[in-house]
Amino acid sequence: MERIQSAISKAREARRALDPQGPATVAADPAATSEARPAAPQERAVEAWSGLMEFRPNEHVLERGRVVSLTSNAASVPFDSMRTRLLYLIRDKGWRRIAVTSPGPGCGKTTISLNLALSLSRLADVRTVLIDADLRRPALGKTLGVSARHQFSDVLAGKADPARHLVRIGDSLAVGTNCAAVPNSAELLQSPNAQHALDLVEETYQPSLMLFDLPPMLVNDDALAAVTLMDAVIVVAAAGASTAAEIDRCEQELASRTNVVGVVLNKCRYLDKSEGYGYDYH
Ligand SMILES: Nc1ncnc2c1ncn2[C@@H]1O[C@H](COP(=O)(O)OP(=O)(O)OP(=O)(O)O)[C@@H](O)[C@H]1O
Ligand SMILES: [Mg+2]
């Protein structure tokens, strides 16, 4: 952990040496965001949730995808603690839309988004909506085992009702998956239709938070396009795969567009037992 932090600091110093002015860092104003959004759940939101199609995940499918947080157990502990920190932050800052991205592919964004969402779903007073926003390579539905042909991108495009493409797990988690890749995904993610669709989901379901499984940052511009819709973002780095310079570049680019919650270091093979399932967070 200390090593990665010191490596990130070194990469930052190296970048500053090259560009002493540095890029401007403008954090979004969370107060302005929260003010515009209703907070208290209303009767019609309860009805809207109960009207969603229920999905019961299969334990074996979840296990295959390293999804361990459906129930509380030793493996879910790191996600439960991530959940606690995130809830504290979103309540404190008034954030609602939280994205998950990474520098390169395969760092564990989908696995972590899903585990975090399932961990949140065990809290009765917290409503969570998890959206697959990796529109070029949607994987959330497969990891979760959703076989119905849902296409949440149609909701983002303003072509479908959210209720048709969200499934409910338990009473307080709704998941929007995609069964097919979407052409022009960056354009869709930046479109007014996508903004309106997310506003509509918030208004209808009044979630405590929305989580978005994004594509990796350094592969195409989809993630950067999507973060403009977000209040904050979590960066997932993979130990041994993501370099400190890549993590720093991501943090820097993201911080100029939204709030960065922190970096989750995933796939750590040599963590202390007390640190659990190979995740570390700063
Ligand atoms: N902590 C971990 N330890 C070992 N393997 C892991 C861990 N987390 C995720 N994986 C595995 O790594 C692979 C990639 O994970 P995942 O699909 O969640 O990454 P991703 O960042 O969403 O990838 P992509 O960029 O393709 O969307 C999967 O096979 C997943 O099961
Ligand atoms: Mg993924």
pLDDT score for 124? 87
Ligand 1 within 6 A of 278 CB?
yes
Ligand 1 within 6 A of 101 CB?
no
- CA-278 nearest atom, ligand 1: 1
Which of 64, 102, 111, 271 is the best mutation target for the ligand 1 pocket, counting ligand atoms within 8 Å of the beta carbon and taking the most? Answer: 111
Residue 273's alpha-carbon distances to 82, 180, 268, in angstroms, are 17, 39, 11
What is the number of H-type helices and E-type strands within the chain?
Answer: 13, 9
Rounded CA-CA distance 169/59 in Å is 13
pLDDT score for 9? 59
Provide the number of structural domains found in the chain: 1
What are the tokens at 211? 């989580």
Q: Is residue 262 part of a domain?
A: yes
Rounded CA-CA distance 202/196 in Å is 10
Rounded CA-CA distance 113/68 in Å is 12
pLDDT score for 269? 77
Q: Does the pLDDT at position 265 exceed 80?
A: yes
pLDDT classification of 37: cutoffs 50, 70, 90: low
> What average pLDDT score do residues 86-92 get?
95
- CA-104 nearest atom, ligand 1: 25
Q: Is residue 234 part of a domain?
A: yes
pLDDT classification of 21: cutoffs 50, 70, 90: very low
Query: 138 C-alpha vs ligand 2 centroid, how far in Å?
Result: 7
Rounded CA-CA distance 247/148 in Å is 36
Condensed to tens digits (0 to 9), the pLDDT of residues 177-214 reads 999 999 999 999 999 999 999 999 999 999 999 999 99
> What average pLDDT score do residues 27-53 get?
68
Q: Is residue 107 part of a domain?
A: yes
Please provide residue 182's backbone torsions phi and psi, each rounded to the nearest 5 degrees.
-115, 125
Rounded CA-CA distance 255/261 in Å is 10
Query: 140 C-alpha vs ligand 1 centroid, how far in Å?
Result: 11
- CA-102 nearest atom, ligand 1: 21
Q: Is residue 51 part of a domain?
A: yes
- Residue 79, classed as helix, strand or coil, is helix
Condensed to tens digits (0 to 9), the pLDDT of residues 104-152 reads 999 999 999 999 999 999 998 999 999 999 999 999 999 999 999 999 9
Q: Is residue 9 part of a domain?
A: no
Ligand 1 within 6 A of 108 CB?
yes
Rounded CA-CA distance 69/184 in Å is 33
Q: Does the pLDDT at position 49 exceed 50?
A: yes
pLDDT classification of 165: cutoffs 50, 70, 90: very high
Q: Is residue 91 part of a domain?
A: yes
Q: Is residue 13 part of a domain?
A: no
Which of 132, 124, 121 has the alpha carbon at shortest distance from 70? 121
Closest ligand, as measured to the CA of 139? 2
> What average pLDDT score do residues 219-246 get?
94
Q: Is residue 6 part of a domain?
A: no
Q: Does the pLDDT at position 173 exceed 50?
A: yes
Ligand 1 within 6 A of 113 CB?
no
**Among 15-19, 179-183, 241-245, whose mean pLDDT is lowest?**
15-19
Domain boundaries, position 135: 23-281
CATH of the domain at 138: 3.40.50.300
Percent of the chain at pLDDT > 70 equals: 81
